[in-house]
Amino acid sequence: MKKVLVLIIACLSLSIMTACGGKTAGSSDNEGDLLLKIGETGIVQSNTGNYEMKVHKIQRLEEYKGRTPVQDYFFLLDIEIKNTGDSVLLGKDITRATLLSKENKTAENWYSDFLTLVPDRIEPGETVHGEVFFDQEHSEEYTLTFAIPLSDPDKTEHIWTFHLDDTELN
């Protein structure tokens, strides 16, 4: 009886380890490999459409056009979006973003007339540029995510990380 019980426990343990250790398409042994850096292109396949997004540079500002941040800094991101799908993309649907500090303080991006916004409509094959703007606290590290509705996690990479030193202080 003890041998049967040991055999059952061994099989269950093996099943659990196999389930936890399994990889799906697009996964990585190192979770950090899924995070993008400034200048890298994210690929999105979602119900909104298929596109590529690149964060070209991030400026850290203590003042911008007469405005001062409520938190410690403004962050102005220069982004590029290429519509790789067959349908029109809606700019505001794909540029909603969150900037998370290492201390878990979140900031949502601003839409304002002083920014170069991504156009409302992005036609198939079209590449556009725009700005995304945040007011955020001081941190040594940040995570940037875009609100990608119902994206396919195996075909989507859209999370960027950067350190304060990676930004241009202006």
Q: How many CB atoms lie within 10 A of CB 32?
A: 7
Model pLDDT for residues 60-99, shown as the tens digit of each residue: 999 998 999 999 999 999 999 999 999 999 998 888 889 9
Tell me the average pLDDT across 20-35. 42
pLDDT at 150: 56
- Mean residue pLDDT of the chain comes to 80
Place 153 in a pLDDT band, splitting at 50, 70 and 90: low
The pTM of this model reads 0.75
Looking at the predicted structure, is the pLDDT value of residue 31 above 70? no
For the domain made up of 31-169, the CATH class stated in words is mainly beta
CB 124 within 8 Å of CB 86: yes
List the chain domain ranges. 31-169
Strand pairing category for 141-146 and 159-163: antiparallel
